[in-house]
Amino acid sequence: MKHVSELRRHGLFDARVPRFTSYPPANWFSEEVDADCVRTWQSNAPKDAEISLYVHIPFCRRLCWFCACRTQGTRSEAPLAPYVERVLTEAQQMRNGFSNGVQTRRLHLGGGTPTILPAPVLNDLLTGLNDIWGLGALDEFSVEVDPTDVGPQRLAMLKDHGLSRASLGIQDFDPQVQQAIGREQSRDLTASVVDQLRALDVDALNFDLLYGLPYQTEQTLATTLDAALEMEPGRIALFGYAHVPWMSKRQSLIPSEALPAPEKRLALFDLARRTLLGRGYVQIGIDHFARPDDALAKAFFDKRLTRSFQGYTDDTAPYLVGLGASAISTYPQGFAQNIPVTGKYAAQVEANAPAMWRGYVLTETDHLRADIVEQLMCYHAATLSLSQRADQMILSCILHIVERFGDAVSWDGKTLTIARWAHPLVRMIAGTLATDQTAQTDQRTYSAAI
């Protein structure tokens, strides 16, 4: 790979920075932002506001060791139906905050493992959400699918309710890698689920892959990519594995000595990037790839791409209502996150109390910075508006970026552009636009820059 020495000089292989799925990142949220604030945001929403729904299902039949998401294991189905009841109660509470005319445009079930829900419980969830929010005019209904924990009945139930996109977790097909991360899932099993989805006319498929896993080599990753591409997914998310055992204790089961070094991680990503580009995929932002005819690629070409807690999206709804334990809601005025502990979340909802835990109120400067960060994360370039260029703190940050990163960036007084070879530095560059709070945050809460 070219430019490795330049990337090393800029500190890429040592840095830990936010992923910037939001600005500011979620670890800036404060418990001082309360439910009364959020109710005001909801009541001020336009009568015909477009809304997307996200439902978090935290349960998993097994806990994969690599995962740092808010999840909990259960071998019993006993907690599933009561949890769904609490989610529907919260859904009604949240719906009551908006006017009658709001329009629900998207629904996404994430986790955890949404497909752990038995078909009758899935039906109760989706029927209830439709009764409360009205799902008849959805632009998209997507679900995260665990190929090891789904069956024809559940898939058929999802399709009956309008499933249009499925996101399949794969990570890596190599047996040694799978054993090391506690996730055994064969290529044949995955292909079978893909075939079942396509038989139901669910052709919009996303695959999630990871690089930087233990025992992963360029050869094993190439084999995984070949197997995945044979199934012709429309999108591939190629995330870097974040090893943070001090935050996710289950990751201590992963042998750290088997993890690739930072420079090797870059080589793994570059191999995957070149492979996917060679197969006709378009790179979207830092870690997504899509076929040119996919909606995400079209949004990228049309400059409509945005970034959210689910990654890159073509969803432009200004309101994202998060339901369930740890779910995050997005409003034009800020963010609100639910209580992460399932039992405490359920108790609050059952008591008809807000499930909110913490949040963040966006300032005018935050909005200006957030727009620049999102442009950089989506397009590796940002064109500043007059108000952004007039903000002395922002302008100072831009000049600092130019001074610090040198020929890795260019600035013509209006547009900041990251050189192609320096694209891996984008999270570091975006981090420079953050306020001093980033420097005050324990850097171990962030993932490696590559």
> Residue 253: which residues within 8 A CB-CB, separation 6 or more?
65, 182
**Is 183 labeled as ligand-binding?**
yes
SS3 271: helix
**Is 254 labeled as ligand-binding?**
no
**Is 330 labeled as ligand-binding?**
no
Q: Hey, how many other C-beta atoms are within 10 angstroms of the C-beta on 427?
A: 23
**Is 314 labeled as ligand-binding?**
no
**Is 450 labeled as ligand-binding?**
no
How far, rounded to the nearest angstrom, does the alpha carbon of residue 302 sit from its chain's CA centroid?
21
**Is 67 labeled as ligand-binding?**
yes
**Is 415 labeled as ligand-binding?**
no
Burial 332-359 (b: 16+ CB within 10 A, else e): ebbbbbbbeebeebbebbeeeebbbbbb
Terminal Cα distance for the chain, rounded: 14
**Is 60 labeled as ligand-binding?**
yes
**Is 242 labeled as ligand-binding?**
yes
**Is 54 labeled as ligand-binding?**
yes
Q: Please state whether beta strands 204-211 and 447-448 pair in parallel, antiparallel, or not at all (unpaired).
A: unpaired
**Is 111 labeled as ligand-binding?**
yes
Q: Using alpha carbons, list the distances in angstroms from residue 315 to 277, 312, 440.
A: 24, 9, 32
Q: Hey, how many other C-beta atoms are within 10 angstroms of the C-beta on 422?
A: 22
Helix-then-strand count for the chain, H and E: 16, 21
**Is 171 labeled as ligand-binding?**
yes
Closest CA to 331 of 355, 372, 310, 359: 359
How far, rounded to the nearest angstrom, does the alpha carbon of residue 406 sit from its chain's CA centroid?
31
Query: Does residue 343 have a cis bond before it (omega within 30 degrees)?
Result: no
SS3 426: helix
Contact 449, 12 (CB under 8 A): yes
Binding residues for S-adenosyl-L-methionine are: 54, 66-68, 111-113, 144, 171, 183, 208, 242, 328
Extract the annotated binding site. 54, 60, 64, 66-68, 111-113, 144, 171, 183, 208, 242, 328
Annotated binding site for [4Fe-4S] cluster, which residues?
A: 60, 64, 67
